[in-house]
């Protein structure tokens, strides 16, 4: 009896455990598949790690400064150090950072934010993991050795790389990846300035360049999480010491209008000098570490005269806002700081431009404010107030991000009275800078490479598709000597909108459309025996080759105003092979956008598809996982041309390899040059009819 009770108790316990396990799995699966929950948890992780990265780079800078400068890094210490040490330390820092850039990660060069923006626009947000370590070490060392750069740019790139790494780990799609990278950028700014609102707005305004971002809450979560981490380790105080602000007179607002104009001009001068310096150093075809060491020597030389240009320069900014800096000294520092920062970044140093922009704004405001207070002491504030507003003006003008600049300064002061002059100066300086210079200090670097990030996604997708993948083999051709009746007969019995006229060499000389026919149809009885095709042909036309991409095709559509263009062969003969229609190009673009969004999660999906099974996606389309047919072993995807021959898309390749530790599986993102191996498994996207044709090369398999 006791044994039976024990057995029943055990059975009840197992049943209860089973019910709990089923509920747990159901809940876990629900959490995993909930879009909003997944993104918020990911944003929280990115924010925490990004905040730790911001804290770590600050600690690293302080430790390197203590080692290199033999004590605390401040103006008094630097002035007391021998002149040769002021030259040696920047040279050493530049040399080491140059070696890292040359051999470890080229992305660590410069301020890094343009690389983040390019990764989002053109590479679906993919950033190499090694960038985190390389950027952190190189920037911390370069700033500590006296490089005239800031830590905010590196923190943005580090946070973005962390977000990208998490996205790559979970194999998220491109939309989620962009959000994760933006979360990382927001965490960097928020932790650097103790400004969570400004961090979130910076990611949206500057990094993404789109206030209509579909998922804003993860960016906010990441920004807040990074701020909490930063406050825990560094304390809850602003990055700069800000004096109380007050507007002496309404007339003073006119001064801030002028300050906005001056700030815009100074920002443009800064941007132009920076890129001139980059071009200058790029002319020398020598290893990176030679150039960065030479740049360090130049910085050291400037520091002998004005040590204020060494490092980030927050001490000098604090002095300016406290009103302890002479106007003439501030004016001199504007020009010297522009030169020092341009040399630092142009020669290959690693660091940001955010702090130099703040520095230049503070010096510009101090010089202008000092002059105004000297001329009109009764109704103007001290120079410190103008230094504070000038920082917002320079940041807004250089980054083309006025909202971010306003919020950063506002969060530094927590004083609403500064908003009005700050808005006036920031908006005016941005307008002036955008009129004088195309692109911000971030986007100009990409524009010089021929990359327009705000049109990058569309152009990139169109350039990835060849005309041969979309072109139709049919085309209406007629000889130049054809009669008017032949033309009418051809047009009436055709589905095309144009008839293309060829000469004796079978080369297209123009086209005929319904427009030309309508102009002559009224005089049909008179002209039917007189007109030939050559008489009404329109010679203003365009052609494309089968090797062109769809970006070229869309430009030709825009130039000609036609919705159909002849396609020629890609060889020297240039034979006529068909036409390409505008509607088909648009369909191909939309299809490719859909596939790119889906393929980002294909790595997760392929784990849930058993061999030979299919998963329904939308309407008639499925995901299929099948082994590579023997006929395709050791052939590249461009040779097989699955898209053209079978109307299928290869989303992912699951590749298994024997190692000492056993079988290891990795996922390969396909490209045209990818060669298929014997044991590869393909994740395909298409209809069941198309997959059935593809499977015919495998006689022993049947469609599920």
Same domain, 88 and 172: yes
Strand partners, 193: none
Kindly report the CATH number assigned to the domain that includes residue 267.
1.10.3080.10
Among 2, 323, 363, 327, smallest CA distance to 148 is for: 363
Calculate ∠ Cα 586-588-589, nearest 5°. 65
Distance (Å) of CA 689 to CA 233, 355, 646, 684, 702: 60, 60, 10, 13, 12
Per the domain annotation, does 417 fall within a domain? Answer: yes
Cβ neighbour number for residue 536 with a 10 Å cutoff: 19
Collapsing DSSP to helix, strand or coil, 54 comes out as: helix
Same domain, 156 and 194: yes
Same domain, 623 and 500: no
Same domain, 216 and 104: yes
Among 510, 519, 472, 509, smallest CA distance to 494 is for: 472
Say if CB 355 and CB 142 are below 8 A apart.
Answer: no
Q: Residue length, the chain?
A: 704
Per the domain annotation, does 368 fall within a domain? Answer: yes
Q: Cα–Cα distance between 177 and 43 in angstroms, integer?
A: 11
pLDDT attached to residue 16: 55
pLDDT attached to residue 21: 45
pLDDT attached to residue 664: 64
Distance (Å) of CA 523 to CA 484, 529, 538: 11, 11, 19
Same domain, 290 and 428: yes
Kindly report the CATH number assigned to the domain that includes residue 531.
3.10.580.10
Residue 32, CB-side half-sphere exposure with 13 Å CA sphere: 10
Q: Given 550, 580, 610, which residue is the final one in a domain?
A: 580
Strand partners, 663: 658
Per the domain annotation, does 107 fall within a domain? Answer: yes
Same domain, 358 and 276: yes
pLDDT attached to residue 699: 43
Reduced DSSP (H G I as helix, E B as strand, rest coil) percent helix, strand, coil of the chain, to 5: 60, 10, 25
Among 502, 404, 406, 511, smallest CA distance to 186 is for: 404
Look at the chain and report how many structural domains it folds into: 4
Same domain, 153 and 276: no
pTM: 0.65
Q: Name all contacts of 457-464 with Cβ < 8 Å and 24+ positions apart.
A: 457/121, 457/122, 458/589, 459/551, 460/121, 460/122, 461/589, 461/592, 461/593, 461/596, 462/549, 462/550, 462/551, 462/553, 462/554, 462/585, 462/589, 463/549, 463/550, 463/551, 464/549, 464/592
Same domain, 406 and 555: no
Per the domain annotation, does 246 fall within a domain? Answer: no
Same domain, 422 and 391: yes
* Three-state SS sequence of 166-233: HHHHHCCCHHHHHHHHHHHHHHHHHHHHCCHHHHHHHHHHHHHCCCCCCCCHHHHHHHHHHHHHHHHH
Per the domain annotation, does 16 fall within a domain? Answer: no
Same domain, 271 and 197: no
Q: Cα–Cα distance between 544 and 557 in angstroms, integer?
A: 11
Q: Given 234, 261, 277, which residue is the final one in a domain?
A: 234
Classify residue 146 as left (phi > 0), alpha (psi -120 to 50) or beta: left
Distance (Å) of CA 468 to CA 106, 312, 568, 671, 691: 36, 54, 10, 17, 21
Mean pLDDT by 10 residues, the chain (704 residues): 48 50 48 66 89 88 85 78 87 89 78 77 73 82 87 85 84 78 88 84 77 72 90 76 74 91 94 90 86 90 88 85 86 92 88 88 92 87 87 91 85 77 92 87 75 56 75 84 81 78 86 74 66 80 84 78 83 82 77 56 47 59 77 80 79 72 66 78 80 65 37
Say if CB 536 and CB 509 are below 8 A apart.
Answer: no
Q: Given 202, 234, 266, which residue is the final one in a domain?
A: 234
Q: Cα–Cα distance between 405 and 424 in angstroms, integer?
A: 12
Pairing verdict, β 662-668 and 576-581? unpaired
Kindly report the CATH number assigned to the domain that includes residue 659.
3.30.70.1450
pLDDT attached to residue 612: 44
Residues 6 or more apart in contact with residue 96 via CB below 8 angstroms: 138, 141, 289
pLDDT attached to residue 535: 79
The domain in which residue 420 lies consists of 252-447
Residue 465, CB-side half-sphere exposure with 13 Å CA sphere: 28
Residue 66, CB-side half-sphere exposure with 13 Å CA sphere: 6
Q: Cα–Cα distance between 302 and 310 in angstroms, integer?
A: 9
Residues 6 or more apart in contact with residue 645 via CB below 8 angstroms: none
Number of H helices, E strands in the chain: 30, 11
Same domain, 533 and 620: no
Same domain, 115 and 218: yes
pLDDT attached to residue 265: 95
Q: Cα–Cα distance between 317 and 242 in angstroms, integer?
A: 10
Kind and range of the H or E element at 504?
none
Per the domain annotation, does 589 fall within a domain? Answer: no
Handedness of CA 508, 509, 515, 516 (dihedral sign): negative
Collapsing DSSP to helix, strand or coil, 298 comes out as: helix
Q: Where are the beta strands (DSSP E) in 503-620?
A: 508-513, 544-545, 564-568, 576-581, 614-618
């Amino acid at each position: 009896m006791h044994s039976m009770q024990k057995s029943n108790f055990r059975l009840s316990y197992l049943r209860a455990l089973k019910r709990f396990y089923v509920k747990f799995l159901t809940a876990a699966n629900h959490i995993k598949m909930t879009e909003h929950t997944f993104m918020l948890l990911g944003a929280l992780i990115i924010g925490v790690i990004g905040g730790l990265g911001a804290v770590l780079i600050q600690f690293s800078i302080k430790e390197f400064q203590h080692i290199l400068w033999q004590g605390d890094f401040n103006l008094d210490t630097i002035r007391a150090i021998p002149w040769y040490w002021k030259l040696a330390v920047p040279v050493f820092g530049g040399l080491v950072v140059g070696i890292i850039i040359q051999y470890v990660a080229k992305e660590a060069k410069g301020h890094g934010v343009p690389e983040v923006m390019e990764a989002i626009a053109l590479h679906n947000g993919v950033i190499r993991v090694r960038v985190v370590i390389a950027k952190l070490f190189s920037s911390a060392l370069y700033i500590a050795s006296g490089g005239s750069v800031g830590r905010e740019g590196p923190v943005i790139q580090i946070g973005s790389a962390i977000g990208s790494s998490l996205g790559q780990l979970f194999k998220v799609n491109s939309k989620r990846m962009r959000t994760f990278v933006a979360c990382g950028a927001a965490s960097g700014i928020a932790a650097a300035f103790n400004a969570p609102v400004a961090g979130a707005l910076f990611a949206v305004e500057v990094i993404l360049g789109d206030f209509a971002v579909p998922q804003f809450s993860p960016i906010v979560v990441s920004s807040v999480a990074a701020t909490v981490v930063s406050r825990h380790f560094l304390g809850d105080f602003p990055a700069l010491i800000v004096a109380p602000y007050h507007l002496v007179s309404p007339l003073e607002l006119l001064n801030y209008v002028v300050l906005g104009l001056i700030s815009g001009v100074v920002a443009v001068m800064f941007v132009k000098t920076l890129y001139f310096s980059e071009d200058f150093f790029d002319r020398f075809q020598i290893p990176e570490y030679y150039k960065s060491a030479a740049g360090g020597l130049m910085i050291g030389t400037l520091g002998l005269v004005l040590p204020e240009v060494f490092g980030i320069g927050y001490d000098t900014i604090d002095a300016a806002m406290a009103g302890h800096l002479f106007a003439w000294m501030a004016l001199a520092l504007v020009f010297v700081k522009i030169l020092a920062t341009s040399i630092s970044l142009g020669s290959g140093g690693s660091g940001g431009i955010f702090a130099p922009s703040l520095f230049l704004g503070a010096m510009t405001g101090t010089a202008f404010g000092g002059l105004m207070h000297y001329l009109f002491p009764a109704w103007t504030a001290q120079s410190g107030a103008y230094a504070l507003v000038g920082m917002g003006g320079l940041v807004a003008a250089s980054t083309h991000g006025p909202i971010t600049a306003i919020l950063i300064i506002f969060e530094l002061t927590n004083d609403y009275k500064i908003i009005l002059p700050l808005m006036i100066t920031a908006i005016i300086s941005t307008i002036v800078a955008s009129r004088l210079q195309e692109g911000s200090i971030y986007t100009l670097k990409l524009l010089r490479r021929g990359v327009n990030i705000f049109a990058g996604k569309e152009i990139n997708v169109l350039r990835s598709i060849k005309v041969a993948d979309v072109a139709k083999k049919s085309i209406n051709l007629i000889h130049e000597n054809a009669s008017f009746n032949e033309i009418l007969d051809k047009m009436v019995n055709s589905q095309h909108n144009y008839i293309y006229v060829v000469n004796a060499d079978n080369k297209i000389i123009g086209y005929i459309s319904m427009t030309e026919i309508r102009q002559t149809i009224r005089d049909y009885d008179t002209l039917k025996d007189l007109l030939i095709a050559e008489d009404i042909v329109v010679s203003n036309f365009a052609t494309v080759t089968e090797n062109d991409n769809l970006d070229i095709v869309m430009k030709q559509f825009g130039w000609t105003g036609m919705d159909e263009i002849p396609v020629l062969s890609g060889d020297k003969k240039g034979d006529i092979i068909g036409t390409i229609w505008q509607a088909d190009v648009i369909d191909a673009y939309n299809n490719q956008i859909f596939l790119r969004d889906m393929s980002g999660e294909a790595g997760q999906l392929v784990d849930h598809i058993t061999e030979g099974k299919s998963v329904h996606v939308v309407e008639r389309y499925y995901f299929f996982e099948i082994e590579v047919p023997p006929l395709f072993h050791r052939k590249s995807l461009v040779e097989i041309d699955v898209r053209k021959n079978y109307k299928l898309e290869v989303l992912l390749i699951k590749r298994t390899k024997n190692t000492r530790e056993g079988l290891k599986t990795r996922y390969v993102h396909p490209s045209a040059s990818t060669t298929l191996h014997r044991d590869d498994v393909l994740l395909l996207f298409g209809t069941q009819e198309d997959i059935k044709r593809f499977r015919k090369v495998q006689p022993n398999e049947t469609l599920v």
